[in-house]
Amino acid sequence: MAFYRPTRWQRPLALALLVALAALPFVLEAFDQAFYIGLATRVLIFALAASSLNLVLGFGGMVSLGHAAFFGIGAYVAAICQQAGINEALVAFPAAMAAAGLFALAVGAVSLRTRGVYFIMITLAFAQMVYYLFISARTWGGDDGLPLAGRMTLAGISLAGDRALFFAALAALTAAMVLFARLVDARFGRTLQAIRENETRMEALGYPAFRYRLVAFALGGAFAGLAGALLANLTGLASPNLLQWTQSGTLLVMVIIGGVGTLWGGVVGAALLLGLEEVLVGVTEHWHIILGLLLLAVVLFAPKGVTALFAAKGGGR
Amino acid sequence: MTQLILEQALNGLQFGLMLFLLAAGLTLVFGIMDCINLAHGSLYMVGAYFVAAAAQAADSFWVGLGIGVAGAALLGLLLELTLFRRLYQRDHLSQVLATFALILIANEAVRAIWGPAAILLNPPEALAGPVEFSLLGNDFFYPAYRLVIIAVGLLVAALLYLLVAKSRVGMWVRAGAANREMTEALGVNVRALFTAVFVFGAALCALAGGLLGPLLAVQVGMGESVLILAFVVIIIGGIGSIRGALVGALIVGSVDTLGRALLPTLLRATLPADAASTLGPALASILIYLLMAAILFFKPQGLFPARA
Amino acid sequence: MSGGLLEVRRLSRRFAAVDALKDVDFTVVAGEVHALIGPNGAGKTTFIHHVSGALRPDHGSVHFAGRDVTGLSMHERVRAGMARSYQITNVFPSLSVRDNAALAVQGRADAGSSFRFWRPVAAETALFGEAESCLAQVGLAGKADAIAGSLSHGEQRALELAMALATRPQLLLLDEPMAGTGPEESARMVELIEDLARHVTILLVEHDMDAVFRLADRISVLVNGQMICTGRPDEVRNDPGVRRAYLGDHL
């Protein structure tokens, strides 16, 4: 492993992508395919959620099976804000981030004292705990989830239109990616990657490894919360399904197929998986089997994609 | 009131013992092969389906149970030889992904074959009724079938104890859990041992699935919720330890069952009705997780870690 | 013995049924080079682990610069002024030599916090300047751009040393710095350590007796987890207990 270093083409490609995405809703409307704006928004939201997991998993080396908890908490906090009369996203979204981030801080504080298999299971267990908490709380909708009466406003502008929400999601994802890009090259990102490679050595150099991991874990949780708040607006419902560990698994799959530990892994993975889902649903109702087989194939026969990060091989970028 | 408490205590014991069947296989696979298996719950589900299908075909619960468990063991063997063997050397993330893929495939395959609705699995007719017994001068009733489950659970626990603590194979298993490389170096056929452990775990899963089938619903996705509980059991008990799995399972089984039964009543007695009705079920459902967090705080390796 | 930079008092540690360390008393005086020797399996690396904070003792205490550090974690002891190099090379093999050293510099308390999220590290010229001077001190200045894993064994040992130095320690724990090096590289390492000894206190664990007798101001001998002798090199050389322990080994 070397420190993650983007290729020369990344910045121009990213800018081109941003321009293309900014034009997308207008293009879709022109071709009378406005329906797909919703799908595109969904991809953006999951790209954000997957990227937040990529920070924790790819850069931090923490295999967390509980990331869905932060995603779901974000959605619920947004719905609860609306229930409480707050309809302004500039208040509700930071609230969602704060709630998710704080919960991540608490979970991390307990879980990060453990290693390997224990850590994976513990994050899973805590996420499941959140799921049970929300489905048994009748004030928050219980089994059915907490619906939103309508979309929120962002700085006064209503997000009711598909286009408006699309741009809100695009703005959120862009801001997050800019932060992640800077973070990775900054002291924090380097320290995090070095701790992932050799924690003992870093401790022997005076770094309190636990603290760095915890901050990364909490940051990842906070951004997952933001994605959750956006999703609640998109679907009009804070669903307990968002909290299930199978959702965590889905996010994990996105990060892996997109390229774990690369800056764009979450974005690429979300686009690939959701795109694949769209295609497969048309093929057979049992498309999960195909997805499962594909995933198995990736794990067994394209090992570099999954393990390249975790095997300290020479010759990085 | 005492009927309720006794009934719930026995339910807790029964649930705990079934959790033990699941956790035992899981902890051995973790402990010896260092392999995380998210699809363990799927083996439980498929086992239950096999038992239900066989029981319907043979029109007998016990025959169905036998066939179902054997079928699941065979499935376990196939899985081990084709997939899991390649996963042992891989990192945990790969194992998570591969077994997650298995869950997707298993759930969908089961849905395709048997449909999304729950299928029927009846307990043996002879055990369908309650058993009456006397304790401390009072008469109690408890379903006969559940008593049989408890008996089977205790029997398996005793057999496992004998196997692990007293037999040579058990010694290899314990050695493998403590130090895999060393066990290999001592000439034990580790490959065959791994396969045997995995198949045995699958059989235990199916046994639990088949026994619980008449009580819970045999349907798609039944494995997931139980899997998490099995994980909690192992976290509390310590990875690689059968003793830890038993203690952990009994703790989780009783705390969960008794908690759900008694906590809402308890809260209603002490808190205003409004708060109690929201807090009660919520708190009861997360009780074991809070317990797990508390245990982890003092013993991050669980109560009886097999590895140093 | 008072006034030692490092004082270890009655340190004991058991692993299962084995006494790895038993009632070890040990002092390193500021400014000296103190060598710790003993037959294989005596417990020397275990001892270093206890001093550096990787392990905690069952009984006894570790004091550094007058402070009881027994309860401090490894990174806290590093912050207090203790640094170690590893017996088995423990650098970051796929990072450049410069990046390895820079990480070490960045970790220092006076280098500022690493909880910085915006400014790219590549822009921190002061950091890399400092890293390069550490590399120069161990003679690796010309190899700053090389990938650490591609260095020769002796060069990697030197990098180990550079990283330990970069933390600007008061006490340097060197765990077999000469391990696996050939005669030429060994000689260079000895010169290097002599040089360093001028401004850092050094606790040196080594098997290479020539190096030990050349470098050490004082020598302590650890056998079977117990400290059997401490003194100046010629005292130790002539001690009957030490000779007995090393019967069959060269002395």
Summarize pLDDT for A126-144 with one digit per residue, the tens: 998 899 889 888 888 888 8
Interface test with B, best of A113, A118, A130 (most B CBs within 10 A): A118
* Residue C225 pLDDT grade (very low, low, confident, very high; cuts 50, 70, 90): confident
Cβ proximity of A223 and A176 under 8 Å: yes
* Cα B28 to Cα A28, A123, B74, B77, B220, distances in angstroms: 54, 21, 18, 16, 26
Question: Structure tokens of A207?
Answer: 């770094």
Average pLDDT on A158-181 reads 93
Yes or no, beta carbons of B101 and A292 under 8 Å apart: yes
Q: Where are the alpha helices (DSSP H) in chain A?
A: 10-30, 36-54, 67-83, 89-111, 116-136, 162-185, 187-197, 199-204, 209-235, 245-259, 265-283, 287-301, 303-307
Q: Is A137 on the interface with B (CB under 8 A)?
A: yes
Yes or no, beta carbons of A289 and B108 under 8 Å apart: yes
What pLDDT was estimated at residue B247?
93
Angle A109-A120-B196 from CA coordinates, rounded to 5°:
145
Distant-in-sequence contacts of C25-32, Cβ < 8 A, 24+ apart? C25/C227, C26/C220, C26/C227, C26/C230, C27/C1, C28/C4, C28/C171, C28/C201, C28/C203, C29/C3, C29/C4, C29/C5, C29/C201, C29/C218, C30/C3, C30/C4, C30/C5, C30/C170, C30/C201, C31/C201, C32/C201, C32/C202, C32/C217, C32/C218
pLDDT digits (tens, 9 = 90+) for A75-125: 999 999 999 988 998 999 999 999 999 999 999 998 998 888 889 888 988
Average pLDDT on C79-104 reads 90
Distance of CA A129 to the CA centre of its chain: 20
Yes or no, beta carbons of B112 and A286 under 8 Å apart: yes
Work out how many CB contacts closer than 8 A connect A with C: 105
Q: How far apart are alpha carbons B273 and B149 in whole angstroms?
A: 37
Interface test with A, best of C116, C147, C165 (most A CBs within 10 A): C116
Average pLDDT on B23-39 reads 87
Instruction: Classify residue A137 as left (phi > 0), alpha (psi -120 to 50) or beta.
Output: beta
Instruction: Classify residue A202 as left (phi > 0), alpha (psi -120 to 50) or beta.
Output: alpha
Average pLDDT on A27-51 reads 91
Average pLDDT on C156-182 reads 89
3-state secondary structure of C11: strand
Q: What is the pTM of this model?
A: 0.88
Q: Is C14 on the interface with A (CB under 8 A)?
A: no
* Cα C241 to Cα B86, B261, C221, distances in angstroms: 54, 71, 10
Whether the per-residue pLDDT at A303 is higher than 70: the answer is no
Residues on chain C touching A316 (C-beta within 8 angstroms): 94-95
Residues on chain A touching B36 (C-beta within 8 angstroms): 117, 120-121
| Of A226 and B215, more confident | A226
**B 94-123 residues with CB below 8 A of A?**
94, 96-98, 100-105, 107-109, 111-112
What do you get for the CA distance between the two ends of chain A, in Å? Answer: 8
Domain ranges for chain B, please list them. 2-219
Beta strands per DSSP E along chain C: 4-15, 18-29, 33-37, 59-64, 67-68, 82-85, 171-175, 201-205, 218-223, 226-231
pLDDT digits (tens, 9 = 90+) for B36-79: 899 999 999 999 999 999 988 888 888 989 999 999 999 999 99
Cβ proximity of C174 and C202 under 8 Å: yes
What pLDDT was estimated at residue A312?
36
Yes or no, beta carbons of A202 and C107 under 8 Å apart: yes
* Nearest residue in C to A206, CA atom: C75
* Nearest residue in A to C161, CA atom: A205
What pLDDT was estimated at residue C249?
52
Q: Is B14 on the interface with A (CB under 8 A)?
A: no
| Minimum-distance CB partner of A185 among C74, C114, C122 | C122
Domain ranges for chain A, please list them. 35-246
* Residue C121 pLDDT grade (very low, low, confident, very high; cuts 50, 70, 90): confident
Interface test with C, best of A179, A180, A199, A205 (most C CBs within 10 A): A205
* Nearest residue in B to A252, CA atom: B97
Interface test with C, best of A5, A178, A190, A217 (most C CBs within 10 A): A190
* Residue B137 pLDDT grade (very low, low, confident, very high; cuts 50, 70, 90): low
**How high is the mean pLDDT of chain A?**
88
**A 254-273 residues with CB below 8 A of B?**
256, 260
Q: Which of A259-268, A278-287, B38-47, B124-133 has the highest mean pLDDT?
A: B38-47
Structural element, H or E, at residue A186: none
% of residues, chain A, pLDDT over 90: 53
Length of chain C: 251
What pLDDT was estimated at residue C90?
87
DSSP annotation of A302: -
Residues on chain A touching C108 (C-beta within 8 angstroms): 206
| Of A307 and A235, more confident | A235
* Residue B217 pLDDT grade (very low, low, confident, very high; cuts 50, 70, 90): confident
What pLDDT was estimated at residue B44?
94
- For residue B76, give how far its alpha carbon lies from the nearest alpha carbon of chain A (Å): 17
3-state secondary structure of A244: coil
The secondary structure of chain C in percent helix, strand, coil, rounded to multiples of 5, reads 40, 25, 35
* Residue A287 pLDDT grade (very low, low, confident, very high; cuts 50, 70, 90): confident
How many alpha carbons fall within 13 Å on the CB side of residue C118? 1
Q: Is C55 on the interface with A (CB under 8 A)?
A: no
Residue A253: which of A273, A268, A279 has the closest Cα?
A273
Whether the per-residue pLDDT at B202 is higher than 90: the answer is yes
Residues on chain B touching A295 (C-beta within 8 angstroms): 97-98, 100-101, 104
pLDDT digits (tens, 9 = 90+) for B88-108: 888 888 899 999 999 999 999
Yes or no, beta carbons of A206 and C99 under 8 Å apart: no
Cβ proximity of A148 and A82 under 8 Å: yes
Whether the per-residue pLDDT at A314 is higher than 70: the answer is no
Q: Is B92 on the interface with A (CB under 8 A)?
A: yes
Q: Is C147 on the interface with A (CB under 8 A)?
A: yes
pLDDT digits (tens, 9 = 90+) for A40-68: 999 999 999 999 999 999 999 999 999 99
Distance of CA B12 to the CA centre of its chain: 13
Average pLDDT on C90-94 reads 88
What pLDDT was estimated at residue B192?
85
Yes or no, beta carbons of A201 and C73 under 8 Å apart: no
What pLDDT was estimated at residue A136?
82
**How high is the mean pLDDT of chain B?**
86
Yes or no, beta carbons of A128 and B98 under 8 Å apart: no
Q: How far apart are alpha carbons B40 and B29 in whole angstroms?
A: 10
What pLDDT was estimated at residue B177?
67
What pLDDT was estimated at residue B172?
80
| Of A305 and B185, more confident | B185
Judging by beta carbons within 10 Å of its beta carbon (0-12, 13-18, 19+), is residue A170 exposed, middle or buried?
A: buried
What pLDDT was estimated at residue A208?
93
Query: To which residue do tokens 């005292």 refer?
Result: C235
Q: How far apart are alpha carbons B96 and B93 in whole angstroms?
A: 5
% of residues, chain A, pLDDT over 70: 95
